[in-house]
Chain A
Amino acid sequence: GDSVTQMEGPVTLSEEAFLTINCTYTATGYPSLFWYVQYPGEGLQLLLKATKADDKGSNKGFEATYRKETTSFHLEKGSVQVSDSAVYFCALSEGGSNYKLTFGKGTLLTVNP
């Protein structure tokens, strides 16, 4: 079945540091890929998405590129802020008539001033 593997956290960075959170997936077809973010005490919010190979999703300074050859969708940001502290989830959807999302376990990011 489908699966998503994220790097284990927690990740602790200083403000303005470069961020990478690794995500790899296993899927039988051509899934859509997503990054969601969960701030403390809140629900998950869609951060960015990519629907086909080589697509780059971007939002709020975060980027991720759909790499079919390496089955990866790594999240990056050039300069993190304290306000980026949250849990980040990588997810995939097989698409078609299947609307289920398969989530990774989440990576806790803490950014210190």
Chain B
Amino acid sequence: DARVTQTPRHKVTEMGQEVTMRCQPILGHNTVFWYRQTMMQGLELLAYFRNRAPLDDSGMPKDRFSAEMPDATLATLKIQPSEPRDSAVYFCASGFLGGHEQYFGPGTRLTVT
């Protein structure tokens, strides 16, 4: 049963610290998405990749957030420096060319104090 995996599942950190979240997309999927979910804003698209190339990161605060795909099996989302307003659940999702459904990971719950 192929699944998207995300690590860590939970992260508590202090303001100003660097946070790195990792995602392993489903093997063979070539689109990867990063979302942020909060009670106030709902589900927001931060960035997405196709064949490891960033296609759209307009939803991401550029000064502190960065997203990369070092290889086809790993996507990373980094926040440096973190702020309390970054507290949220961050989801990674993957999909494949020709289909438009996305498969979500379990999320990383980030708390910045």
Interface residues of A (CB under 8 A from B): 32, 34, 36, 42-46, 49, 89, 93, 95, 99-101, 103, 105-106
Contacts and interface: CB of A to CB of B under 8 A. Distances in A.
A57 to B, nearest CB: 11
Contact of A100 (B48, B104, B107): B48
A93 to B, nearest CB: 4
Contact of B101 (A34, A89, A100, A103): A34
B109 to A, nearest CB: 9
Range class of the B interface residue count: 20 to 34
B17 interface: no
Contact of B106 (A43, A49, A101, A103): A43
Given A44-B43, A100-B45, 17 more contacts: A34-B100, A34-B101, A36-B104, A42-B106, A43-B105, A43-B107, A44-B102, A45-B104, A46-B101, A49-B101, A99-B31, A99-B95, A99-B100, A100-B48, A101-B100, A101-B102, A106-B42
Contacts, number: 44
B11 to A, nearest CB: 15
Tell me the dominant secondary structure on chain B's binding face.
strand
Given A43-B106, A99-B48, A99-B95, A89 B43 contact: yes
A34 B4 CA distance: 19
Contacts of A44: 43, 91, 93, 102, 104
B50 interface: yes
A89 B91 CA distance: 15
Tell me the dominant secondary structure on chain A's binding face.
strand
Among the interface residues B4, B56, B102, which one has the most CB atoms of the partner chain A within 10 A? B102
B65 interface: no
Interface of B: 4, 31, 33, 42-43, 45, 48, 50, 56, 91, 93, 95, 100-107
A97 to B, nearest CB: 9
A34 B104 CA distance: 14
A15 to B, nearest CB: 27
Nearest to B89: A43
A57 B45 CA distance: 25
